[in-house]
Amino acid sequence: MSDNNFNYDIFVRNPLYPDNVTEFFSHESLFSSSSNTSPIPNSFNISSFNVNGLKMHGQIKLDEISTFFSLKHISFGGIVDTHLHPKQMKFLSKRISNYTVFSSNLDTSKQILSSGGVSLFIENSFASHVQDFQSHSSRLLSVDLYFKGNVKLRIFVIYIPPPAESVLRTDTINLLIQQLILTKQAGFYHAVCGDFNMHLDKYYPIYFNQPQIASKHIHRLFFHLLSHGYEDYTPINLSNSLGTFHRNDQITRVDYVWSCPLLKGYALTACIFNAQDICTSDHNPVITYYDMSLLFASTKLARARQLKCRTRRVFKFDTVTDIQWMEFADKTDALCDVSPSTFSSWHINQMCEYLQSRILKAGNATLPSSIVGNNYTPKVPKDLEILTQHYQFLNRLMHSIRILRKHPSTYSAAHEYKWSTHLIRLQNILQLYKNVFTFIPLLPSSLSSCRQDNFKSLLDDLSIISKSLRGFQLLQEKDFQDSSIRVHLNDRNNHFETDLSSFIDSALSRTRRRITLDRVFIDHSTHPQLLTDPKDIDDAVVNHFQNFVPIKSTPLVSIDTLPDR
């Protein structure tokens, strides 16, 4: 059972992939650097690229990175295994215009084969949202960005050493898992990009078919990611010549962009970029695209109230006539004026965006709709609502027949006309719910034939139909109630893992209310201060309530003395 009112605000935000996976993954726009398709509209992306060090031929490699960023319009570019200190990286990055770079510290220990070094290039329109970055080690970096609507995004860049450096590899994996747990508890949308030096294609069969082996210590990182709902959207490598790593005759897939459970709902698609023609690295970059609405369309309810943006439009498909459907189809066809050859050359997400805009424009012009609140959700499924309407119709009809039976002298030709229309609906009800009735009564074609027994047989037949529908309605309501409880429980369990604040609100049947302070003035007699830094504001507020707000409370004698809600 589903609601037929169509929410156009989220239509085709996450378009479905084609059924023919092989054909989709081998499409030129995914596996060709020569593709000239435009970037996916209304999206941002995160990429990972192992450059095999920038000490040798650093300027040339930076130019290659700049070319890659420009070709694919990279928003967040993770660069792995740089072998450079942050100051060296910042100096070289000046060759890449319109990007700000954040880099990890460098491990100069002589006991290791690779000194590591990871960086994240952020396009300047996003870099202004950076609030913090942290070098957890020379191989793990995190950058935090804050957007309107309390949206917090954390991007990790990681380089996990190869198995030959077992101790360092173990430490790096343990550090990443620890940071992922802390990040999840803090409520961040987050992604992990980098070179994992692990083969997910080989681990999948183990994870799904051998759970006891899959959870062993050697597989702990992939097991943690998959068991906690993370996803890597990079297409399965069905190409004989393209992976993310190629050396001699070896072609494998070791570079990934993992999305957390919160972020993966905004993922659109992913691709492997064939960089062999423009780059000297033995790695190919991977790119994952996300819906831009996560970053720039998420507004708190309080802010939406200020902007008076608390409504949305839904289409009422139940009331659409055949003529309106034809007008809608003709209008949509007229708006889709791109030639089939041009349309077929686009990326799948660009196709969806194009169709979405035309369909919505045609729908707004031709289809009936209504404006509802942002928090509107149908109280009952559409099928149950229709069943209830049919049952109420039967009760009203039986009431009218009883009045006619009580006052037979009021019978007229108008009753015959109304009965002819009601009879059509009754026959539709009997056909729609034919499996509900033990037998289907034969209804009279006219009311005049029922006057012989003063409408008694007709009332008996209608009463049988009404009781059967009522029993079926009660069963459907019970099923809906049970499913609603299960959905609510599942949401609460998911919130315990992904959104602890919502879990607490739900468990306590309370909604947290708060005031967001962007500045605090301390009215001191000799040293007045205006605080604007978020950390200083937090410290000042905590200090105020700890030291200046009196606490008026007395110990409770027993739990019975607690006030009612």
pLDDT tens track for 470-498: 999 899 888 888 888 887 787 777 777 77
Determine what percent of the chain is predicted with pLDDT higher than 70: 80
Residues 153 and 245: their CA atoms lie apart, in Å, by 28
Residue 67 confidence (pLDDT) above 60: yes
Q: What is the pLDDT of residue 2?
A: 39
Q: What is the pLDDT of residue 9?
A: 36
3-state secondary structure 278-327: CCCCCECCEEEEEECHHHHCCCCHHHHHHCCCCEEEEECHHHCCHHHHHH
Q: What is the pLDDT of residue 174?
A: 93
Residue 530 confidence (pLDDT) above 70: yes
Q: What is the pLDDT of residue 8?
A: 33
Contact 562, 554 (CB under 8 A): no
Return the structure tokens found at 159.
């380089």
Summarize the confidence of residues 240-246 as an average pLDDT.
66
Residue 267 confidence (pLDDT) above 80: yes
Q: What does each C-alpha distance from 509 to 82, 174, 258, 493, 504 come to in angstroms? A: 51, 37, 34, 15, 8
Return the structure tokens found at 23.
């054909």
Summary count for the chain: helices (H), strands (E) = 19, 19
Q: 315-324 — which CB contacts under 8 Å span 24+ positions?
A: 315/5, 315/6, 315/8, 315/363, 315/367, 315/368, 315/369, 316/5, 316/367, 316/368, 316/369, 316/370, 317/4, 317/5, 317/6, 317/367, 318/4, 318/382, 319/368, 320/367, 320/368, 324/366, 324/367, 324/368
Residues 409 and 539: their CA atoms lie apart, in Å, by 84
Contacts of 358 (CB under 8 A, 6+ apart): 332, 335, 336
Contact 534, 150 (CB under 8 A): no
Residue 441 confidence (pLDDT) above 90: no
Residues 103 and 87: their CA atoms lie apart, in Å, by 9
Summarize the confidence of residues 192-216 as an average pLDDT.
85
Question: pLDDT, tens digit, for every residue of 339-383?
Answer: 888 888 877 767 777 888 888 888 888 988 877 765 666 667 778
Residues 106 and 135: their CA atoms lie apart, in Å, by 9
Confidence of residue 537 (pLDDT cuts 50, 70, 90): confident
Q: What is the pLDDT of residue 242?
A: 61
Question: pLDDT, tens digit, for every residue of 41-60?
Answer: 778 999 999 888 887 777 78
Residue of 235 and 291 predicted with greater confidence: 291
Q: What is the pLDDT of residue 196?
A: 92
Contacts of 559 (CB under 8 A, 6+ apart): none
Beta carbons within 10 angstroms of residue 462's beta carbon: 19
Residues 340 and 47: their CA atoms lie apart, in Å, by 31
Residues 442 and 98: their CA atoms lie apart, in Å, by 78
Q: Does domain 45-294 have CATH number 3.60.10.10?
A: yes
Residue 538 confidence (pLDDT) above 60: yes
Phi, psi of 139, deg, nearest 5: -120, 5
Summarize the confidence of residues 223-249 as an average pLDDT.
73
Q: What is the pLDDT of residue 119?
A: 94
CA atoms within 13 A on the CB side of 238: 12
Contacts of 478 (CB under 8 A, 6+ apart): none
- The SS3 of residue 154 is strand
C-alpha 477 chain-centroid distance: 30
Residue 239 confidence (pLDDT) above 50: no
Residues 105 and 137: their CA atoms lie apart, in Å, by 7
- The SS3 of residue 338 is coil
pTM greater than the 0.75 cutoff: no
Summarize the confidence of residues 298-310 as an average pLDDT.
51
Residue 526 confidence (pLDDT) above 70: yes
Burial 284-308 (b: 16+ CB within 10 A, else e): bbbbbbbbbebbeeebeeeeeeeee
Count of residues making up the chain: 565
- Give CA angle at 213 (207, 216), nearest 5°: 105
Domain locations in the chain as residue ranges: 45-294, 306-373, 382-475, 520-561
CA atoms within 13 A on the CB side of 522: 16
- Give CA angle at 438 (437, 439), nearest 5°: 90
Residue 158 confidence (pLDDT) above 90: yes
Determine what percent of the chain is predicted with pLDDT higher than 90: 16
Contact 27, 269 (CB under 8 A): no
Q: What is the pLDDT of residue 297?
A: 56
Confidence of residue 271 (pLDDT cuts 50, 70, 90): confident
